[in-house]
Amino acid sequence: MELRHLRYFIVVAETCHFGQAAERLKMAQPPLSQQIRQLEAELGTELFARTTRSVSLTPAGEAFLADAQRILSSVEEAARRARRFADGKAGTLRIGLTGTASYTQLPALARLVKEQLPDVVLDIHTELLTPAIEQALASGELDVGVLRPPVRDPALAVRPIAHEKFVVALPEGHRLAAADTVIIGELRAEDFIMYPGGSRSVVHDAVIRACRAADFYPRVAHESAKTSTQLSLVAAGLGVAVLPESVRGIALAGVQYRAVAGADDVELALAWCRTGGSPLVDSFLATLEDNGIFLDSSYSGGLP
């Protein structure tokens, strides 16, 4: 049985007239009648009751019509999905996000994908350090990553999407909580909760630089690669954490955020492999470009 037999059958069933069906199908009537006879022979039953004046569906034909319509609809949907996959409009996009980007950039990106690429499913990996995202992009485990430059792998294209100031997360009732802005030097006597040293964390290194510029080295009491864990330790009163301002997206009981003076901004960027990209990645990048997500005006590599 061929799909064309189903199409011929459906048109004849809809018109109940071989002449009109042949006209709609842009073919001669005798070949159409022959094709329907072949279909009936293959099924072993008549689908139409024919008289010299009328054509009507038999009970078997009525049952077969519903199935034939369902089958053709499924085939057409499969073809549509295949075209959308080929065009980068459908599929699974694997995205990794570093630290606090999981709480601010992720909602914005996910909303954009839902609205403009509704057939794309996001496979989301959150609270990763930049080196882990770089490695996952290089190995093909991730398609795109939201990370903090600089990156070391020249095979990665990088475009900035945000610049962030720092805030300090303080335990509730902390002596500095009354101020709107905390000067970094005012934290010299505090226990710090930080991303692990030696992890190539951009935030870790920026905090160290800011403290050294204020003539002290932070006393690190606890380290964690997870921002959420750092904040839980702050809430427990075990120290303070200096983090990018997007951390304000996490409302946690027992934690208060205050602006920090004396620390340089940190950048947040989107990264992907320059070569071996997929139509899906290209489509995602074009959507971000069209919606003004990137801060710069030109790509540093890749498409579009």
Query: What are the pLDDT digits (tens) for 239-265?
Result: 999 999 999 988 999 999 999 999 999
Closest CA to 273 of 264, 282, 261, 265: 282
Give yes or no for residue 301 having a pLDDT over 60: no
Give yes or no for residue 297 having a pLDDT over 60: no
Average pLDDT over residues 192-199: 90
Peptide linkage before 304 cis (omega within 30 of 0): yes
C-alpha span between 204 and 248 (Å, rounded):
18
Is 265 in a helix, a strand, or coil? coil
Residue 220 token pair: 């690190």
- Using 50, 70 and 90 to split pLDDT, how confident is the model at 188? very high
Q: Which position has the token pair 């950048």?
A: 267
C-alpha span between 191 and 238 (Å, rounded):
7
Give yes or no for residue 304 having a pLDDT over 60: no
CB atoms within 10 A of CB 176: 16
Predicted pLDDT at 273: 94
Give yes or no for residue 298 having a pLDDT over 60: no
Query: What are the pLDDT digits (tens) for 59-83?
Result: 898 899 989 999 988 888 887 777 7
The separation between the first and the last C-alpha atoms of the chain, rounded to the nearest angstrom, is 44
Report the C-alpha dihedral over residues 172, 178, 181, 187, rounded to 10 degrees.
Answer: -60
Query: What are the pLDDT digits (tens) for 198-225?
Result: 878 899 999 999 999 999 999 999 999 9
Peptide linkage before 131 cis (omega within 30 of 0): no
Average pLDDT over residues 108-124: 93
C-alpha span between 21 and 9 (Å, rounded):
9
- Using 50, 70 and 90 to split pLDDT, how confident is the model at 40? confident
Predicted pLDDT at 250: 87
C-alpha span between 262 and 161 (Å, rounded):
23
Predicted pLDDT at 300: 42
Give yes or no for residue 302 having a pLDDT over 70: no
Name the E strands within the chain: 48-50, 55-57, 90-98, 119-128, 144-147, 156-164, 166-171, 181-183, 191-194, 219-223, 241-244, 255-261, 266-273
Q: What count of residues does the chain have?
A: 304
The more confident residue out of 87 and 207 is: 207
Average predicted confidence (pLDDT) for the chain: 90
R_g (Cα) of the chain, nearest Å: 31
Is the Cβ–Cβ distance between 136 and 227 less than 8 Å? no
Give yes or no for residue 299 having a pLDDT over 80: no
- Taken in order 152, 156, 157, 162, the sign of the CA dihedral is negative
